[in-house]
Structure 1
C-alpha cells in the first residue's frame, strides 16, 4: 500500500482511503524515486496517482 501524500508531508492523511493506492513493491519503489527526483516530479506523480484513485473509486 502506498500513501500518495506521505505521512511526513501530511500526517492527517495517513488513514484516508483516497490517499492510499495498492502497488507492487517494484512500482512502490519507482514512485519513491520519482518523489525524490524533484518537487515538480513529486507533485506530477501525486496528481496522476490521485486521478487513478478517483477512477478506481467511481
Structure 2
C-alpha cells in the first residue's frame, strides 16, 4: 500500500455492489463440480437494509 496516496488507503474498504440481474444470467453449468457454497452471500446486503434471514 506504500504506492497509494494515504487519502485512499485510510478509507474503509467497500465492496462493489453486484447487479442481481447479472448474477441471474450467469450459466450455472460453468460451476458444475464446485463444492464451495458461500452461505454468507447476501448477508451483508440484508443486514444493511434491516432484513433478516
State the TM-score, normalizing by the size of structure 1: 0.28
Structure 1 or 2: more helix by fraction? 1
Larger Rg: 2
More strand by share: 1
User: Which structure's relative contact order is higher, taking Cα pairs within 8 Å and 6+ residues apart?
Assistant: 1
Q: With structure 2 as the length reference, what TM-score do the two structures score?
A: 0.29
